[in-house]
Chain A
């Protein structure tokens, strides 16, 4: 069973700061990587997907991928209290065409 690991947190940052969320994975063949956000009591929703090494920016969110290090991260700039949620890293497991979710990192943005 391939693994996806994240710091469980909680990660607390002040409003306006940069939140940095990290994820490592074990499947060297993975090509697809996703960040989902899950508010308490709600379902996960996609924030970013990334497939190539480097950075991908979308508004205040930047996903970073380093396949050699088997590492993917999510940066949230100008963090807002509304960003407080659990962030799930998801990585494609190539053998079975499925996605494995990490345990999630709980983020709290303090006003």
Chain B
């Protein structure tokens, strides 16, 4: 059984397009995250949701909009894609993003290439 799943695995698109990445976790976790890993492999948090509520919103362009329809799902929509958006996007989840940060479980990643 896949704990954290993402679709699609690969996404190739033209500049200016709008695209979405979906994430689902079946671990019963309360908190979900989106990370961006660039070509230098630096893993940087973008957003975090706890029980469908946005709790972390890093300095990410507002072209990126997360949506959490329920606590098992966190989707990422990107408008007007730019070349610099090319990266691997990881979804992750943890039991509770409370006072002590818990282990995060990562999805397989979505490799986005903007042409």
- Contact surface of A with B, Cβ cutoff 8 Å: 31-32, 34, 38, 42-46, 49, 51, 86, 88, 92, 96-101, 103-104
Does A43 lie within 8 Å of B97, measured CB to CB? no
Beyond A44-B90, A44-B106, whether A32 also contacts B56 by CB under 8 A is no
Instruction: Return the 5 tightest CB-CB contacts between A and B, nearest first.
Output: A43-B106, A101-B43, A92-B101, A32-B101, A46-B103
Q: Which of chain B's residues have a CB closer than 8 A to the CB of A42?
A: 108-109
Does A97 lie within 8 Å of B104, measured CB to CB? no
Size band of the interface chain B makes with A: 20 to 34
Does B98 lie within 8 Å of A44, measured CB to CB? no
Does B98 lie within 8 Å of A97, measured CB to CB? yes
A42 to B88, alpha carbons, bound, how many Å?
A: 10
A44 to B105, alpha carbons, bound, how many Å?
A: 8
Does A96 lie within 8 Å of B90, measured CB to CB? no
Q: Which of chain A's residues have a CB closer than 8 A to the CB of B66?
A: none
Majority secondary structure, B binding face: loop
A103 to B45, alpha carbons, bound, how many Å?
A: 13
CB under 8 Å from chain A, chain B span 64-100? 90, 97-100
- Contact surface of B with A, Cβ cutoff 8 Å: 40-45, 48, 55-56, 90, 97-101, 103-109
Majority secondary structure, A binding face: strand
Q: Which of chain B's residues have a CB closer than 8 A to the CB of A49?
A: 103
Does A43 lie within 8 Å of B104, measured CB to CB? no
Does B103 lie within 8 Å of A86, measured CB to CB? no
Does A101 lie within 8 Å of B106, measured CB to CB? no
Q: Which of chain A's residues have a CB closer than 8 A to the CB of B43?
A: 44, 88, 101, 104
20 sampled A-B residue pairs with Cβ under 8 A: A31-B100, A32-B100, A38-B41, A42-B108, A43-B108, A44-B106, A46-B104, A46-B105, A88-B43, A92-B100, A92-B101, A97-B48, A98-B56, A98-B97, A99-B104, A101-B43, A101-B44, A103-B41, A104-B41, A104-B43
A6 to B43, alpha carbons, bound, how many Å?
A: 13
A96 to B48, alpha carbons, bound, how many Å?
A: 10
